Every structure is written in C-alpha cells, then in structure tokens.
Amino acid sequence: MEILDPQLQAYLDMHCDAEPEALRKINRETHLKQLKPNMLSGHYQGRMLSMLSKLLQPKLILEVGSFTGYATICLAEGLAEGGKVLTIEARAELEDTLRNNFALAGVQDRIELHIGDAKDVIFGLTENIYDLSFIDADKKSNLAYFELIIEKTRPGGLIIIDNVLWKGKVYGEANDADTQLFRKLNDAIAVNTQVEKIILPVRDGVLVIRKK
C-alpha cells in the first residue's frame, strides 16, 4: 500500500506525533487477527486525518468504510464539542470489534455505527449535512459515494478519498478494471468546478476535496 520509499516513510513516521496507545493496540490487533490488515489507515495517515479534523473542528463527520475503526477514532479526535462521527461498515462480523475498539479509545459516545450497504444508509440519513467525510470502502463505488455525499456537504466542508494512486498504477501503464475506475474518479473530480482538490502522496494516495 505504501508508494513512498520505506526510508522516507520511516522518517515521516518518526517526525510526526506518536501513535496514541489505544490506536497502537488496535493497529497491532488488526495485523494479528484480520485477513487484510493493510486496509488499516495506520500511524502516519491516521495523524494526517486527525490533523485535518482538528483544523476543521467538524460537528458531523461521515465515514464510509469502518474496517476496525482506526481512522474513525482519528477523525473523532477533532470533533467540536457535541460532535459525532457516523461510520458505515458493510460487514456485520466486524461490529463487535468496532464497538470494542471505540470503547478502548474512549470515543464510543461520539461515534454512531451503522452496519449495512453504504448507499442505503446515506440515502436514509436525508437530513444530515456533513462538515467532513472520509471514503475508504469498496473502490468501485467511490465516484457514486462522492456524488451522493457532495450534495450533503456544507460549503467549506471536506471529502477525503483513500487509495486514489492505487499502488502507483494510475500513472503507470496498468489498464486493469480497478485502475481504470480510479483514473475515472480522479479525472472526474479534477474537472469538477464545485470543488477544490489536491492529491497527497500519503500511503496509497489521499484525495482531499473542499466544497466551494
């Protein structure tokens, strides 16, 4: 998942804030118990998500794709007083792990977990307007999630999409179906005049989008 030179990534890890103890434990447990632990945001990306959330001080965050809750907890660190993260996870078998991890980090009262299909859940939350959204779920639906969420984002709000450099394939010669989907996503957002946007070369590429 890392596109940066390992020595550079190690240097970056050493020169950002330390990984909080609860997140360090979640990181370790995820790598011990989950089949695809590389789906975890991890230390450096987690500190980036926390920083963006703290800069924005959102009242309402939407996360599409919870996995084991690492990024959810990072995003919750920046919530304004009384704020909440609504996080959506498709796999019901992760519910107990998620609730335990939220409790371990002491943020269970600030997180509302929804289990189910993300599109259905987002449609059901009709009245919500989000300050910050993080999309890190099934990659084939990224553009659909963006199109749903942009209409529910306040002016000045952020949408963050993970994995947009897709292991470096988007700017290489690869032409498989997943790579084409990421190119389509990046190209569509690049010409979208509703938003400002920048891709950060963090881990597998993070697209940060600000609604005008």
Task: Evaluate if residue 1 carries a pLDDT over 70.
Answer: no
pLDDT at residue 3, rounded to an integer: 83
How far is it, in rounded angstroms, from Cα 179 to Cα 64?
20
pLDDT at residue 157, rounded to an integer: 98
Taking the CA atoms of residue 40, residue 44, residue 139 and residue 129 in that order, the dihedral angle to the nearest 10 degrees is: 100
- Under CATH, which number does the domain 6-211 receive? 3.40.50.150
124-148 tens-digit pLDDT: 998 999 999 999 999 899 999 999 9
**Lowest mean per-residue pLDDT among 78-82, 103-107, 174-178:** 174-178
* CB 10 within 8 Å of CB 34: no
Q: Beta strands 84-89 and 60-64: pairing type? A: parallel
pLDDT at residue 2, rounded to an integer: 73
Task: Evaluate if residue 172 carries a pLDDT over 80.
Answer: yes
Task: Evaluate if residue 118 carries a pLDDT over 90.
Answer: yes
pLDDT at residue 151, rounded to an integer: 95
- Identify the three-state secondary structure at position 135: strand
Task: Evaluate if residue 39 carries a pLDDT over 80.
Answer: yes
Identify any residues that bridge with 132 across adjacent strands, giving them in sequence order. 61, 158
Q: At which residue do the structure tokens 């070369």 appear?
A: 201
Sorted by where each begins, the domain ranges of the chain are 6-211
